[in-house]
């Protein structure tokens, strides 16, 4: 009989929630990985965390954040953004490439990786960008560990030139050859610009003009076009921040024809509707926009039916001054969210809108599976010991001042919450506990396993 390995940490008494169920079990950790999950794992002389009455979830994997480094660090940087993630129970973030300069070449990818690697408080992946003429750079970025590629079909922060359909198709082919997922911002750029010009010509500068300038069919058209092309090129396709009932209906119709695509919804599109413009003004400007309540209901129904694969934050910080801009055309899109995702979802779970198992599936298990990130998204022996201790009954009020981003302006300030993050562990190390960040930046780059073809769409 081999001598069983001693753990270096044991969590006892908690209810361990996975994507497909929950059980009261102990978790033993050794060398940053889950050693065992089971009963009676507490061992003399081994540090023990008594988590009686708490839930233990796999650390969340947020596939959509903008940490603004390099080039926009007045808004956020890798240290502040990943501290916010740790405080929100998010142990892996996937950072978008529309920084300044944008990450559209292998050289820029390497520069960004060198710049941010020592600053991360949680694990991170970096996306590359598909731009109007960089299909020759895709393989090089993949070699450096690109988690996947982001394609902006519609204009957003950074005002990167949107590729035409031929450039898109070449980018899709290159990503397919690299075995990586392409995630898309699916709105038709030409139509967005035309509707924006019309509204400006009418003298509109109010927050709702942004919604009126981005009607649902603009998303439907782009979704249809990109799914059609991705099937033809054999590319693993993911739709970021799908925002409309009509968009989701079109995805389901195309899936019924055999097209394979994963779908993400954002916390903001689930927890805010267009009444937010009257309360928060341009703070809630978002691309795609915050939609009417009927769209919000359709997205929740899509989650309940299992049609939506992933929930993400689109954590998109701007300075407090920028967030107060009154002219909708000058205002930036997006706001922070990586720290508030889990408390908001736990509150929805307490209200019966979804289950905590659903949260684990949508925010940890499926993201890790879809992007082939090994060792994440589950608390199974051999997996990274990334986990969150959650008090599911704690009653609090969301306080923007307590958040860890550089600028803590959030439309969720003052919301009543049921459920809070007590502590976050990254590869067995305590990184956050009761309001405080513990220790220094120990996050590492995560790379996708490119041999694994995506079994799960």
Please report, as ranges, the residues that interact with Zn ion according to CB under 5 A.
Answer: 314
Residues in CB range of 253: below 8 A, 6 or more apart: none
CB 111 within 8 A of CB 434: no
| Closest distance of CB 340 from Zn ion, Å | 16
> What 3-state DSSP class applies to 34?
strand
DSSP 14-26: EEEEETTEEEEEE
| Closest distance of CB 193 from Zn ion, Å | 19
Taken in order 298, 301, 302, 308, is the CA torsion positive or negative?
positive
| Closest distance of CB 87 from Zn ion, Å | 20
Residue entry with tokens 């930046």: 441
Q: What is the DSSP letter of 402?
A: G
| Closest distance of CB 104 from Zn ion, Å | 16
* Residue nearest Zn ion, Cβ-based: 314
Q: How far is CA 281 from the centre of its chain?
A: 24
Q: Output 151 or 360, the one with its CB closest to Zn ion.
A: 151
Report the DSSP pairing between strands 128-130 and 262-266: unpaired
Q: Output 154 or 419, the one with its CB closest to Zn ion.
A: 154
Q: Output 289 or 375, the one with its CB closest to Zn ion.
A: 289
Q: Note if the bond before 101 is cis, omega within 30 degrees.
A: yes
Q: Output 219 or 314, the one with its CB closest to Zn ion.
A: 314
Q: Output 29 or 268, the one with its CB closest to Zn ion.
A: 268
| Closest distance of CB 257 from Zn ion, Å | 28
| Closest distance of CB 34 from Zn ion, Å | 31
The full 3-state SS of 196-211, as one line of letters, equals: HHHHHHCCCCCHHHHH
Q: Output 269 or 404, the one with its CB closest to Zn ion.
A: 269
Q: Output 90 or 437, the one with its CB closest to Zn ion.
A: 90
| Closest distance of CB 81 from Zn ion, Å | 13
| Closest distance of CB 445 from Zn ion, Å | 20
H or E element in which residue 9 lies: strand 9-18
Q: Output 127 or 383, the one with its CB closest to Zn ion.
A: 127
Q: Output 30 or 150, the one with its CB closest to Zn ion.
A: 150
Q: Output 123 or 314, the one with its CB closest to Zn ion.
A: 314
C-beta neighbour count of 85 within 10 angstroms? 35
Please state the φ and ψ torsions of residue 342, each to the nearest 5 degrees.
-65, -45
Q: d(Cα 358, Cα 62) in Å, to the nearest integer?
A: 15
DSSP 348-396: HHHTTSS-HHHHHIIIIIHHHHHTT-TT-SS--TTSB--EEEEEEEEEE
| Closest distance of CB 41 from Zn ion, Å | 40
CB 269 within 8 A of CB 241: yes
| Closest distance of CB 316 from Zn ion, Å | 6
Q: Output 73 or 429, the one with its CB closest to Zn ion.
A: 73
DSSP 218-257: HHHHHHHHHHHHHHHHT--EEETT---HHHHHHHHHHHHT
| Closest distance of CB 315 from Zn ion, Å | 8
Burial category of 81 from C-beta neighbours within 10 Å (exposed 0-12, middle 13-18, buried 19 and up): buried
Cα–Cα distances in Å, from 115 out to 54, 108, 112, 440?
Answer: 37, 10, 5, 16
């Amino acid at each position: 009989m081999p001598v069983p390995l001693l753990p270096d940490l044991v969590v006892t008494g908690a209810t361990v929630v996975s994507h497909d169920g929950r059980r009261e079990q102990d978790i033993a950790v050794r060398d940053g990985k889950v050693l065992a999950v089971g009963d009676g794992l507490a061992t003399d002389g081994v540090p023990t965390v008594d988590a009686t009455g708490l839930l233990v979830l796999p650390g969340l994997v947020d596939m959509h954040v903008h940490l603004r480094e390099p080039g926009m660090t007045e808004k956020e940087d890798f240290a502040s953004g990943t501290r916010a993630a740790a405080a929100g129970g998010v142990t892996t973030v996937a950072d978008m490439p529309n920084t300044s300069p944008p990450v559209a070449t292998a050289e820029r990818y390497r520069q960004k990786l060198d710049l941010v690697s020592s600053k991360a408080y949680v694990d991170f992946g970096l996306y590359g960008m598909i731009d109007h003429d960089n299909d020759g750079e895709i393989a090089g970025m993949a070699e450096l560990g690109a988690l996947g590629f982001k394609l902006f079909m519609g204009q957003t922060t950074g005002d990167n030139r949107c590729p035409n359909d031929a450039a898109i198709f070449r980018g899709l082919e290159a990503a397919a050859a690299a075995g990586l997922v392409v995630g898309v911002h699916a709105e038709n750029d030409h139509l967005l610009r035309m509707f924006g010009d019309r509204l400006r010509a009418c003298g509109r500068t109010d927050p709702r003009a942004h919604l009126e300038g981005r009607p649902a069919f603009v998303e439907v058209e782009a979704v249809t076009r990109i799914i059609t092309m991705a099937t033809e090129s054999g590319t693993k396709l993911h739709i970021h921040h799908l925002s409309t009932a009509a968009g989701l209906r079109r995805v389901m119709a195309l899936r019924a024809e055999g097209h394979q695509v994963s779908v993400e919804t954002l916390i903001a599109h689930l927890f805010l509707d267009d009444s937010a413009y009257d309360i928060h003004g341009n703070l809630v400007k978002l691309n795609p926009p915050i939609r009417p309540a009927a769209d919000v209901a359709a997205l929740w129904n899509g989650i309940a039916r299992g049609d939506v694969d992933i929930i993400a934050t689109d954590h998109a910080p701007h300075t407090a001054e920028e967030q107060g801009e009154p002219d909708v055309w000058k205002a930036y899109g997006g706001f922070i969210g990586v720290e508030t995702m889990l408390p908001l979802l736990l509150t929805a779970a307490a209200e019966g809108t979804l289950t905590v198992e659903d949260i684990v599936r949508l925010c940890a298990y499926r993201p890790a599976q879809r992007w082939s990130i090994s060792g994440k998204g589950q608390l199974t022996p051999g997996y990274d010991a990334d986990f969150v201790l959650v008090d599911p009954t704690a009653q609090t009020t969301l306080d923007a001042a307590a958040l860890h981003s550089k600028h803590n302006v959030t439309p969720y300030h003052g919301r009543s919450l049921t459920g809070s993050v007590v502590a976050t562990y990254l590869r067995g190390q305590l990184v956050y506990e009761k309001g405080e960040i513990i220790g220094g930046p120990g996050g590492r780059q995560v790379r996708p396993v490119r041999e694994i073809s995506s079994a799960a769409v």
